[in-house]
Structure 1
Amino acid sequence: MLAGDMLRRSAERFPSKPAVLWQDQSISYRELDLAANRLAHALINAGIAKGEKVGMLCRNRIEYAIVFFGAARSGAVLVNISTLYQADELAYVLEKADVTTLFYEDVFQEKVDAVRGRPPMLKRFVRIGEAGGDLAFEAFHQNESQDYPDLGLKPEDPFCMTYTGGTTGRPKGVLCSHLNRYITAHTVAMEEALDERDVVGIVTPLFHVAALNIMFQPAVLVGATSTFLTKWSPEAFGDMVEETGMTAAFMVPTQISMVVSDKGFDPARYASWRKVSFAGAPMPDWVQKEMLQHLPDVAMTQIYGQSELGVLTSLRSWYVRDKLGSVGRQAYNVDVALVDPQGQPVGPGEIGEIASRGDNVMIEYYNEPEQTAAFWRNGWALTGDLAIRDEDGFIFLVDRAKDMMISGGENVYPKEIEDAIYELDAVAECAVFGIPDDKWGEVPAAYVLLREGAELSEEAIVAHCEKKLARFKRPRLIKFVSDFPKTPIGKIQKNLLRDKYWADREKKI
């Protein structure tokens, strides 16, 4: 299936139904379908060729939906750009992705002005929001044909590009086909039980795969209504649930934690909420337990996946209590294996790297042939995540392969230490990573964020770890922090914490 057909079919089924709610605005499925056609023709008539890269720098608002489906129908590849980038990062991505046309929201005018002329291919700017010096969004497409363009596109054709969060260095462009993202949309719709009765909250940035491809596309596929939140806060989220009757949402663990620990938390505000899925970072057990206690009618589904591979596993709500800590079983329509360094599947209880193969897997890292080649082993696409699978088929993450330490010749997995620290009630979040040590090569360091009003000493953390873990795994450095640097999807950027310790040393793993 083509991405544009997801919208077309739902517009045929539910023409008058709201497709997207945003602030005080609403657009029906028929209106969104016609607007996407107009935008597609505007791109085609502007001379944008099939496969040409069109950038989108915008917060969550209705125009994002129009550009997303319009670009899909035009044959162009939509490059979804982080609104968090500074000017140099923005220039890097625009040039790396070969972007020739940039749609941007007016609030990012200063960033856009700072990169004009730097990516040589970028010649066209279309401004969303208040009128400015560039071509206005409405003027660009409002007078174009409303017919569905017939370009003979195929499901295997390139469709969109998102950039990885950059937890280990410069972000990479993940180029995916229509088919890749259709597989993921269908996975989510089935595994999270979405249907046309749902009002789906889009509360993470649309430039990221989690909101755009893991929640918005499935919502459109099944004919649900999406409600966009532009700026996150527990208060704004609660207001949105009450005002729109939101029933389902994808959230990162930090957001769920903020909701259940908010001083103004009132379960009555969330009466319509029935489904939540989460991924992107480890969910502390205490957060899941508080959700079960305070919002028992909200079914929690943990999913696991990557921009490159879509959704790979799902832990449905009825397994949460018995399989707490698991990321679930492989999703019904994807192939998942745990493989050894030679790319051969390992058995239950053995550590292997999570891998996948099939139509869910990206086309390539754009303009990164060496990294694309390294992505594969013996026909399997690699995630970089180590895990074990139990006899029931449930997968438990061990750690990122790149985060593993070798201390005194012993393999040390930071996640094992983090899990122990999370057992302490005072801990809200933590990050463990290796720092250099002249005797042992490297030793664990732990950065810890305490829950509001809680107290905990370094000695108490070390003592707890020594009870739970072998002595060589205990943290040798503990630092209490007030916040963590994170990717837009909530992953702690350990490289930013770790790199300063290794600035003049070589890390060998």
Structure 2
Amino acid sequence: MRNIDYFDKSAALYPERPVLETQQGAITYAAMQRMTHRLAGAMAAAGLQPQEAVAIMSPNHPGVLTAMLSLWRAGAVWIPVNTRNALPDTIAYLRYVRAGWLFYHSSLSAEAHEAARQVPSIRHLICLDAPDAGNPCLDGFMLPPDAPPFPDLGGPDGGDRELCAIIATGGTTGPAKGVRALNRSWGTMLESIAILMAVEEIPVFLATAPLSHAAGPFALAGIAMGATIVMLPAFDAHAVMEAIQTHRVTHMFLPPTALYSMLAHPDVRHYNYSSMRYFLLAGSACSPEKLRQAVEVFGPCLCQSYGQTEFHLIATWLPPEIVAAAAAGDHPERLASCGRATMSVRLELMDDDGALLPVGEVGEIVGRGGIVCDGYFEMEEATTEVRTHGWHHTGDVGRRDEHGFFYIVDRKKDMIVTGGFNVFCSEVEAAVSEMAGVHECAAIGIPDEKWGEAVSVLVVANSVKAPDAAAIMAHCKARLGSVKAPKHVFFRDSLPRTPVGKFDKKAMRAEFWQGQSRSVN
């Protein structure tokens, strides 16, 4: 089904239930439904085309959810913008997907106007929270309250083959690739989450991670369940702990790095978490010891999933009862597992020749099924490459035990996962290499208590005028944004290479990963 169909089902069942609770107040399902009709109608009246790309660039804000649901009601395609990206990357991506609309928050006004100046396809700018430089705010742009309902654009098949989003995934060179998410695959993801995380009480989801990342689809799964979404503007460990207790939160998604921040907070044991049923960790691997500690603090609600932008969020599932048992000493090795394949997918391990591998052997994780995306937007060659031998290739290397539990042990692709975000080494290396005095450099991820992996560079200088570590980090932050900028710089006389002359990243990483049971953290 279409995303708006899931919302409308819940609105029909629970019209007076709050769909959203924020610092600005609560919005019921019925009120939100009326707003989405008014905004969809206004977009259509302003010339919105079927399946047109509509970008949203904002921190967490009530208008983000309103705009998302409205664009889906109007038959448009969601383009989430990661506000942590450097502006040139955002502009390049908006050009690539030919975004026609840009909804933005006033705190990003300068960036939005620069994007509109450089992206010829953008025809409309709407500021979510206030009128801005001649652009209307969300409330001012909507049709009046007495406007007729927007026509129902759905069909008997639920629009299975229609796009609902084009989501950026990291690119090694050139612009990022846009993952084509169809209503078919997106709906399968929402239904899988709703089934796996069902509860008897009214679900209350906490949205504190950016809705432009995995928190967005997780919140939509909650809406499909009739949940109230408690939205925080950004992650803050203390605010999250308070919100869980105050709102009796039942479901929450965070990347492991945010969990680590909560565990390190001095007040973490001073709050009541008894309402929690599912504390989902996803986006990167979680430290088994941290996971064990989290069960002690938050109770038997910790769970994990594995997926990708291309392989929507819930390819594997490690449920709370398995995590709690492992933390108590029953199969403790499962704390390092990402779980077993969910019902909608088949997962296997494959060697470089396309042969499927038996239990216990290490190979690339490949999959097929309902949550696999429809390939990359206007990138046929990349789509073909990721689908060789009839399977979706994740680029992650893992093993499977005799009980069907998967364990990720390394990554086949040259990528660092830091704080739940993907960073490709070549992007960092290109930024460092352009600096005067740098002979060569290599980017790797090294273990980090906060980020899981910290982006780091090994640099060979070619003169005494080489930049120091602080200059390198500052340059990369300006060029790439804070997520991709290195947190550590190590100077070396030379860098190890393979027999064919390529950088030996395995040897570089070994220096920092000695004593670790796996090469992800």
Tell me which interval the TM-score lies in, with the shorter structure as reference length: 0.7 to 0.9
Q: Deviations over 1:394-436 (max 9, x none)?
A: 11112111249xxxxxxxxx99xxxxxxxxxxxxxxx9x99x9
Q: Note if 1:212 corresponds to 2:216.
A: yes
Scaled by the length of structure 1, what TM-score is found? 0.79
Judged with a 3 Å threshold, the aligned counterparts in structure 2 of structure 1 residues 500 and 20 are, in CA distance, closer, same or farther, namely farther
Contact 1:86 1:111 in 2 (8 A): no
The aligned counterpart of 1:221 is 224
Preserved CA contact (<8 Å) 2:245 2:271: no
Q: Is the 8 A contact 1:300 1:317 kept in 2?
A: yes
Classify the secondary structure of the residue corresponding to 2:304.
strand
Distance change >3 Å, CA 447–CA 205, structure 1 → 2: same
Once structures 1 and 2 are overlaid, which stretch shifts more, 321-330 or 351-360?
Answer: 351-360
Please tell me whether residue 4 in structure 1 is matched to residue 4 in structure 2. Answer: yes
**How far does residue 373 in structure 1 lie from its aligned partner after superposition?**
1.6
What is aligned with 1:73?
Answer: 73
* Aligned-partner residue type, residue 373 of structure 2: M
Instruction: Summarize the alignment of residues 17-166 of structure 1 with structure 2, pairs less than 5 Å apart.
Output: 17-133=17-133, 134-143=135-144, 145-152=147-154, 154-165=159-170
Query: Structure 1 residues 65-74 or 9-18, which shifts more?
Result: 65-74
Q: CA offsets per residue over residues 84-121 of structure 1, 9 Å max, x none?
A: 13321221111111001111111100111222321111
Shift of 1:493: 5.6
Single out whichever of 301-310 and 345-354 deviates more from structure 2: 345-354
The answer to whether the 8 A contact 1:127-1:137 is kept is yes
Counterpart of 2:203, as a letter, is D
2:315 corresponds to 1:319: no
Determine which of 349, 355, 374 is the counterpart of 1:338: 349
Match of 1:462 in 2: none
Q: How far has the Cα of 1:306 moved from its partner?
A: 0.6
Alpha carbons of structure 1 residues 164 and 18: separation in structure 2 relative to 1, 3 Å: same
Which amino acid letter does the alignment assign opposite residue 264 of structure 1? Answer: D
Deviates more, 1:24-33 or 1:193-202: 193-202
Show the counterpart of 1:278: 281
Question: Do residues 189 (structure 1) and 194 (structure 2) align?
Answer: yes
Q: CA deviation at 1:363?
A: 1.6
In the other structure, the counterpart of 1:305 is 307
Counterpart position of 2:238: 235
Q: Is the CA contact 2:292–2:335 (under 8 Å) kept in the aligned structure 1?
A: no
Distance 1:105 1:286 in 2: 39
1:368 to 379, 396, 410: 379
Q: 1 CA distance for matches of 2:369 and 2:488?
A: 35
Give yes or no for contact 1:354–1:383 (8 Å, CA) kept in 2: yes
Partner of 2:195, secondary structure, is: helix
Task: Please give the alpha-carbon distance, in whole angstroms, between the structure 1 residues aligned to 2:485 and 2:367.
Answer: 25
Counting matched residue pairs gives: 442
Please give the secondary structure, in 1, of the residue aligned with 2:32: helix
SS in 1 for 2:39: helix
Aligned AA for 2:301?
A
Q: Is the 8 A contact 2:106 2:129 kept in 1?
A: yes
- Contact persistence 1:302–1:328 (CA under 8 A): yes
| Cα gap change, 1:26 to 1:270, in 2 (>3 Å) | same
Quote the offset at 1:152 in angstroms: 4.2
Contact 1:18 1:26 in 2 (8 A): yes
Identity, in percent, stands at 25
Closer, same or farther: CA 198–168 of 1 in aligned 2, 3 Å: farther
Alpha-carbon deviation of 1:170? 4.5
Deviations 1:166-186 (A, max 9, x none): 588753211211111110111
One-letter amino acid of the counterpart of residue 105, structure 2: E
* C-alpha spacing 1:446/1:55, structure 2 compared with 1 (3 Å): closer
Q: How much has 1:56 moved relative to structure 2?
A: 0.6
1:328 is matched with 339
Distance in 2, matches of 1:204 and 1:221, equals 19
> Are 2:344 and 2:370, in contact at CA under 8 Å, matched by a contact in 1?
no
Structure 2 CA distance, aligned partners of 1:383 and 1:64? 30
Q: Provide the secondary structure at the position in 2 that maps to 1:255.
A: helix
Aligned residues of 1:343 and 1:380 also touching (Cα < 8 A): no
From 380, 399, 402, the equivalent of 1:391 is 402
Counterpart CA distance in 2 for 1:138 and 1:444 is 46
TM-score by length of structure 2 reads: 0.77
1:446: how far off?
7.3
Shift of 1:243: 2.7
The residue type equivalent to 1:306 in the other structure is: Q
1:455 match: none
In the superposition, relative to structure 1, how do residues 500 and 343 fare at CA in structure 2: closer, same or farther (>3 Å)? farther
CA deviation profile, 1:179-235 (whole Å, cap 9, x unmatched): 111101111122233566111111210011x1111x111101110111111121111
Q: For residues 499 and 29 of structure 1, do their structure 2 counterparts lie closer, same or farther at Cα, with a shift above 3 Å needed?
A: farther
Structure 2 distance, partners of 1:167, 1:324, is 31
SS in structure 2 opposite 1:363? coil
- Once the two structures are overlaid, the 10-residue window that deviates more, 442-451 or 370-379, is 442-451
Amino acid at match of 1:307: T
Partner of 1:178: 183
Q: CA 1:20 to 1:445, structure 2 compared with 1: closer, same or farther past 3 Å?
A: closer
Between stretches 339-348 and 40-49, larger displacement belongs to 339-348
Between the aligned partners of 2:285 and 2:173, the Cα distance in structure 1 is 17
Distance 1:498 1:373, change over 3 A: farther
- Deviation per CA, 1:54-97: give whole Å up to 9, x if none: 11111212211111111112111110111113321221111111
Tell me the equivalent position of 2:391.
Answer: 380
Distance 1:132 1:444 in 2: 40
AA aligned to 2:409 is V
Return the letter of the residue paired with 1:212: G
Deviation at 1:304, TM superposition (A): 0.3
CA gap of 1:355–1:178, structure 2 versus 1, over 3 A, is: same
> Is contact 1:96-1:367 (8 Å) kept?
no
Q: Distance in 2 between matches of 1:239 and 1:142?
A: 37
Q: Cα distance 1:90–1:387, how it changes in 2: closer, same or farther (>3 A)? A: same
RMSD: 3.4
SS class of match (1:78)? strand
- The separation in 2 between residues aligned to 1:195 and 1:93, in whole angstroms, is 42
Distance 1:377 1:116, change over 3 A: same
**Aligned residue identity for 1:37:** H
Gap runs ≥5 in structure 2: 418-422, 430-440, 451-468, 506-521
